Amino acid sequence: MVDTAQLFSTEVTDAVAEADVDTAADMGPIGSADAPDAPVVNVGALSRQLLGTWAEARLAARELTARPEMQRIEGLSMDEHRTRVFGQLKILAAEGQVHRAFPRTLGGFDDHGGNIAGFEELVTADPSLQIKSGVQWGLFGAAVLHLGTAKHHDELLPPIMDLRVPGAFAMTEIGHGSDVARIGTTATYDTEAGEFVLHTPFRAACKDYLGNAAKDGVAAVVFAQLISQGVSHGVHAFYVPIRGADGALLPGIGGEDDGLKGGLNGIDNGRLHFTNVRVPRTNLLNRYGDVAADGTYSSPIASPGRRFFTMLGTLVQGRVSLDGAATAASALALTIAIRYGSERRQFTAGSDSDEEVILDYQRHQRRLLPRLATTYAHTFAHDEFLVKFDAVFSGAADTDEDRQDLETLAAALKPLSTWHALDTLQEAREACGGAGFMAANRLVGLRADLDIYATFEGDNNVLLQLVAKRLLTDYSRSFAKAGFGVLARSAVRQARDRAYHGSGLRSLAQTVVDFRSTARSVGALRHPDVQRALLTDRVETMIAEVAAKLRPATKLPTKQAADLFNSQQNELIEAARAHAELLQWEAFTRALDATADAGTRQVLTWLRDLFGLGLVEKHLAWYLIHGRLSAQRAQAVTAYIDRLNARIRPHALDLVTAFGYSPEHLRAPIATGIERERQNEARDYNRNLRASGTAPVAEKSTTKR
C-alpha cells in the first residue's frame, strides 16, 4: 500500500517549500494568453502528438470521411439510411481502407494497430458506418481470421474482404448477453453425416441485435455449444450460410428485423434462430478446437476455461475500437461546444453594453474544460492501449500474460471512455443551448448513436467486474508464496495504516504542513508524485479492503461464497474504475514527459493536473473518510481546479483545434464561425445605434427615485 503520508510529510513538503514563490503566483490573478510570459501552444506539434502512433492511418481515414458521399445525411428514413450505409461499405472495400489487418497474402497489410486507428475515425462520418464496417471486417471477418485456419482464410476471407459476402457475428443471445459461456445454441456433431447440426432449443437462445442479420448478411459466424460423442466442449464458432442468392433466409433459419432503434439506424440489426441447420464439419473454425471425422475432439489448449477465454480474447479488438471511437466522439463534441462557447455572447457583466462570451463564465468553464482534460487523458491512454494490442496481434508480444493484460486493459478503458462520451455529448449539447438540440449541429445524433456503446462488446459494469477479479487475483498472488515474515509485515503495515489514517494523525500532519495556507495546500497537490500517490493509494486500499472481506469465501459453501462476493460487487466495480482512472492519469503523464515544446508542456501540465485533481474532487468523500486528505487540503482541491480552468481558458481553442478535425468532419454550423458573425453584427448595430443618438432610453433610467 502506498504510504502517501510519507510523501506528504517529507518529499512533497520539501518540494512545496522550494516552490513557494511559484505557488503564490499560481494563486494570484489570472493573466490573458496575450501576456508576455504566457505559454503558447504549438498546435501543429500537439496535433501530431494526439494522432498517436498510427498518425498516417488516421489521416488517411480522415481524408476519406471528409468526402460527402461517406457522411451521414440527417433525416433519412431507416430504410434509406441502411441503403446509404451499405453503399458506403462498398466504397470502403474498394478503397482497401478496411483491409489493413488481413494477411498480406490476401491483399492486406498485417497492420493491426493501423487498422483499428483508421477504423475508429469512421465515427466522424457516421457511427452507423463505423459499426457496420466493424461488424463486417472487425467481427465477422476477424472471427474467420483469428479462429479459423489456413483453409478458412483462403476460401472464406477474400469474399468477406471485398464484400461479396456480407456477414453477421452471431454471439449474443436474448438470455445470455455478456455471459457468453452459457449461451444456449447447440452444434451437435453427426458422425454418420459428417455434419454439425445447429439448433436453437428455446426462445432465450435466439441470437439477437446482430448487425447485417436483418437484411444484408448472407452468412454468419455462429457461436454455439459444441457437442460431440455426448460431451459438450463449450462454446465454439461455426461459419454458417444464412441467405440464398435471392436474399431469402435458407431452410431451417428464421429471423426477424429488430426495426427502429434509439440510434445506429443505418445498421440492419436483426434476430436469428436455427432449427436443425446442418453445416459441414469443416465449417467449424478450428484453430483452438477441432472434431475429427469420427467425432473425436482435440484442442491445443487442454483447459476448457482457458480455451474459451483464449478464443474470446482474439476478438478483443471490438473493445479496443470502441474505446478509440468514443474518445473521438468526445473530441468532436468538445470542439463544437468550445468553438461555440468562444463566440456566443450572453448577458452583460463587465460592460454596460457588450455581452460576455459564455466560455468566460466560470460555470461554463467548469462544464467543458474538465471534460476536455479527461478527453486528452483518454486519447493518450488509448494510443498506449493500441500499441499493446498491436504487439499482441502482430506476435511481437503474444504470451498468455500479454493477452491477459490486453483483455484487462480493454475491460478497464472501454467503460470509462464510452461513459465519458455520453456524458460529454450531453453536457456539450446543453452548453450549446437550443442550437445544440438542432440535428444539424450533430450533438443529439451522436449522443443517440453512441448510447449503445456502453453495453455492446460487453456491458460496462460487467467489464469492470472482470478487471476487479484480475486485481484481486494479482493481489492474492502477491501473498501466495510469501513467508510468515512477509505476511506479518503486511499485517503490521495495514494496522499502522488504519491507526495513522483513522486517528486524525494524517489530518494533523497535513494541517501542520499547510499552516493554514491554501497556497501550501495547492503546492502539494500540484506535485505529480502526490497525485500519483493519491490515485494509487485509493486503488490499493479498495482492493485490500475487499480482499479482506472476501477472504472467508474460500471456506464457505458455494452459495454462501457467491452471496459474500455479491455483497462486495459494487466496491469491486468502483475499485476497477479507480484502477482505470489511474491508468489514464499515468498515460497522460507519460505523454506530458514526451512533449518537447515548453509552452505546450506547460498548458498540458495544467490540463493533466485538472484531470488528476478532478478525479480527487470526484472521490473527495472517500479521501476524507479514509483520512487521506485534511479538510484544508480538500478545500484546496476545488479552489485550484477553478484556478486551473481559468488558466486553461485562453488556450481552449488551441486545445480543441489540435484534435485536427476540419469543418468537413465537424459539419456543425455553430462551429464554423457563423456565431461570431452574428454576434459582431449585433454589436455593430447596437454600437452604431448608440453613436447616432437615436437609441431609445431604457425605462429604468427615467424612473424617478
Q: What is the DSSP string of 325-376?
A: HHHHHHHHHHHHHHHHHTT-B-S-SS-SSSPPBGGGSHHHHHHHHHHHHHHH
Assess contact for 265 and 215: CB atoms under 8 A. no
Using CA atoms, how far apart are residues 26 and 28, in angstroms rounded to an integer?
A: 5
Residue ranges in 395-481 assigned as alpha helix (H): 400-431, 433-437, 443-450, 460-480
Taking the CA atoms of the chain, what radius of gyration do you get in angstroms?
Answer: 28
Query: Residue 284 gets which letter from DSSP?
Result: B
CB 643 within 8 A of CB 609: no
Q: Cell 431604457 sits at which residue?
A: 698
Question: What residues have CB less than 8 Å from 137, skipping those under 6 apart?
Answer: 98, 99, 101, 160, 161
Half-sphere exposure of 704 (CA within 13 A, CB side): 0
Please name every residue paired with 280 in a beta bridge, in sequence order, or none if there are none: 195
User: What own/partner pairs with CB < 8 Å and gap ≥ 24 does 588-591 have?
Assistant: 588/376, 588/377, 588/380, 588/381, 588/612, 589/528, 589/532, 590/380, 590/384, 591/49, 591/380
| Cβ partners under 8 Å of residue 136, min gap 6 | 89, 98, 160, 163, 166, 167, 212
How far apart (Å, rounded) are the C-alpha atoms in residues 332 and 52? Answer: 17
Q: Which residues pair with 243 in a beta bridge?
A: 249
Gap between the Cα atoms of 604 and 593, Å rounded: 10
Task: Tell me the three cell numbers of residue 128.
Answer: 452507423
Measuring CA to CA, which residue among 19, 28, 25, 31 is closest to residue 648?
31
φ and ψ at residue 317, rounded to 5 degrees: -60, -25
C-alpha to C-alpha distance for 157 and 266, rounded to whole angstroms = 24
In whole angstroms, what is the distance from residue 193 CA to residue 201 CA? 21
DSSP secondary structure letter of residue 254: E
For residues 104 and 311, the answer to whether their CB atoms sit within 8 Å is no
DSSP codes joined into one string, 540-608:
HHHHHHHHHHHGGGGGS-HHHHHHHHHHTHHHHHHHHHHHHHHHHHHHHHHHHHT---HHHHHHHHHHH
- Measured CA to CA, the distance from residue 108 to residue 115 in angstroms comes to 10
What does the alpha-carbon distance between residue 74 and residue 81 come to, in Å, rounded to a whole number?
Answer: 9
Q: Are 479 and 487 in contact (CB under 8 A)?
A: yes
DSSP state of 246: T
Active-site amino acid positions? 457
What SS3 class is residue 692? helix
479 contacts 543 by C-beta, under 8 angstroms:
no
Terminal-to-terminal C-alpha distance of the chain:
69
Burial class (CB in 10 A: 0-12, 13-18, 19+), 376: buried
Q: Measure the CA–CA gap between 46 and 51, rounded to whole angstroms.
A: 9
Q: Which three cell numbers stand for residue 170?
A: 452471431
